[in-house]
Amino acid sequence: MRETIYLNRHYYYSLREGEDRPVKKYNLTVTIWEEEGVYVSRCVELDVASCGDTPKEALENIREAIDLYLKNAEEYGMLNDIEPSLTAHDKFTSLIEVQA
């Protein structure tokens, strides 16, 4: 499949052969952890979660969940509302310790 890439500061557009409009691609943050024998995956920017039996499967499943979320957001006109969190130039993650 042939693909043309258009670069942008926050994401890039991809126009695949046979498509009439560019597809936006984003760099998102995904966290994966083990919980009771299952690996949980969560996208920080979208607050979307999934799981799998292995970290690899959890990553594959969150990718599918994110794809479905973004398609639905676009279909219902919500993509502009969430785009700032998707295109933020500076993203910071940190691990902190708290006492409970």
Q: What is d(CA 100, CA 95) in angstroms, rounded to the nearest whole number?
A: 16
Confidence grade of residue 17 (pLDDT, cut at 50, 70, 90): low
Does 52 reside within a domain? Answer: yes
Q: Write down the pTM of the prediction.
A: 0.73
Does 34 reside within a domain? Answer: yes
CA within 13 Å, CB half, 43: 23
What is the pLDDT, as a whole number, of residue 90?
Answer: 83
Q: How far is CA 29 from CA 44, 84, 100, in A?
A: 6, 14, 26
Does 68 reside within a domain? Answer: yes
Three-class secondary structure of residue 55 per DSSP: helix
* pLDDT beyond 70 at 9: no
74: containing domain: 3-87
What token pair was written down for 76?
């219902």
Other residues' Cβ atoms within 10 Å of the Cβ of residue 99: 3
Q: What is d(CA 10, CA 67) in angstroms, rounded to the nearest whole number?
A: 18
Choice between 31 and 11, residue whose per-residue pLDDT is larger:
31
Confidence grade of residue 19 (pLDDT, cut at 50, 70, 90): low
Does 38 reside within a domain? Answer: yes
Query: How many domains, in total, are found in the chain?
Result: 1
Q: 12: exposed, middle or buried (C-beta count within 10 Å: 0-12, 13-18, 19+)?
A: middle
Cα-Cα end-to-end distance for the chain: 52
Give the residue-averaged pLDDT of 59-80: 92
